[in-house]
């Protein structure tokens, strides 16, 4: 299964959860499949999606789903220990593991050789780490919390860049969070 199919499956299952997405092609694919004000496309900083999402989940009650990449998470492994330490019920980190830096030419990452992100997450203290490699597996696990590692094939969809300025992405996302908080 290609990453874009995994993202499509995830988006089909979600309703109004907050979504923080890894930079590069994952954000482009998500944007092309379905753009929502609840999506935060991380357009620049590699490795920070899991931490940004964790902070959001700890500061408000709505569920946060992070779409991260293997390369990006490998750059910020400490995030897993912090996720385990806080273990918010309203937080799910999904890692789309294509075993390469897919957005920049598919240079192999450490997961192509030996690194096992599910084992690393468990070792960091995350309870009940889930894995999936099929549409059915994704549908089943996407409604949970913690960490879900999805194995996908390399390859980027032929989709345009995210046609939305970073400032606009941020302000509409924050507006959406505040709107919900006011309604409580
Ligand atoms: C600090 C930093 N280093 C490198 C880059 C360049 N870069 C952008 S996306 C990317 C690959 C990301 O790989 P991964 O997180 O596995 O996601 P994939 O594209 O494979 O889905 C790289 C190296 C960057 N934006 N920031
Ligand atoms: Mg990758």
Number of structural domains (the chain) is 1
Whether the pLDDT of residue 23 is over 80: the answer is: yes
Distance CA 98, CA 87 (A): 25
Tell me the CA–centroid distance for residue 36 and ligand 2, in Å.
23
What pLDDT score was predicted for residue 121?
98
Regarding the beta carbon of 46 and ligand 1, being less than 6 Å apart is answered: yes
CATH code of residue 155:
3.40.50.970
Q: Enter the tokens of residue 40.
A: 């935060």
> Mean of the pLDDT values across residues 41-69?
97
User: Which tens digits make up the pLDDT trace of 100-122?
Assistant: 999 999 999 999 999 999 999 99
Ligand 1 atom closest to residue 101's alpha carbon, by position in its atom list: 13
Whether the pLDDT of residue 58 is over 90: the answer is: yes
State the burial class of residue 34 (Cβ atoms within 10 Å of its Cβ: 0-12, 13-18, 19+). Answer: middle
Regarding the beta carbon of 21 and ligand 1, being less than 6 Å apart is answered: no
What pLDDT score was predicted for residue 142?
98
Regarding the beta carbon of 111 and ligand 1, being less than 6 Å apart is answered: no
Q: Enter the tokens of residue 105.
A: 């030419």
What pLDDT score was predicted for residue 183?
84
> Which range marks the domain in which residue 175 is found?
3-183
Mutate to test the pocket of ligand 1, among 102, 150, 151, 153 (most ligand atoms within 8 A of CB): 102
Regarding the beta carbon of 8 and ligand 1, being less than 6 Å apart is answered: no
Mutate to test the pocket of ligand 1, among 6, 29, 101 (most ligand atoms within 8 A of CB): 101
User: Which tens digits make up the pLDDT trace of 157-176?
Assistant: 999 999 999 999 999 999 99
Sheet containing 18-21: give its strands across.
Answer: 39-41, 18-21, 64-69, 91-97, 146-151, 130-132
Give the closest residue (by CA) to ligand 1 atom 12.
101
User: Which tens digits make up the pLDDT trace of 75-86?
Assistant: 999 999 999 999
What pLDDT score was predicted for residue 169?
98
What pLDDT score was predicted for residue 184?
77
Regarding the beta carbon of 81 and ligand 1, being less than 6 Å apart is answered: no
Confidence label for 98 from pLDDT (cuts 50, 70 and 90): very high
């Amino acid at each position: 299964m290609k990453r874009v199919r995994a993202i499509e499956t995830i988006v089909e299952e979600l309703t109004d959860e907050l979504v923080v997405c890894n930079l590069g092609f994952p954000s482009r694919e998500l944007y092309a499949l379905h753009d929502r004000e609840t999506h935060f496309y991380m357009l620049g900083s590699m490795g920070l999606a899991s931490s940004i999402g964790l902070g959001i989940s700890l500061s408000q009650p709505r569920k946060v789903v992070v779409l991260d990449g293997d390369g990006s998470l490998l750059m910020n492994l400490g995030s897993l220990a912090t996720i385990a330490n806080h273990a918010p019920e309203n937080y799910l980190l999904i890692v789309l593991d294509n075993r390469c830096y897919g957005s920049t030419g598919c240079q192999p990452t450490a997961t192509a050789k030996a690194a096992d992100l599910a084992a690393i997450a468990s070792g960091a203290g995350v309870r009940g780490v889930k894995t999936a490699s099929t549409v059915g597996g994704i549908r089943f696990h996407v409604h949970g919390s913690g960490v879900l590692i999805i194995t996908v094939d390399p390859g980027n969809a032929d989709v345009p860049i995210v046609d939305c300025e970073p400032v606009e992405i941020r302000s509409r996302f924050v507006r959406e969070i505040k709107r919900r908080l006011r309604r409580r």
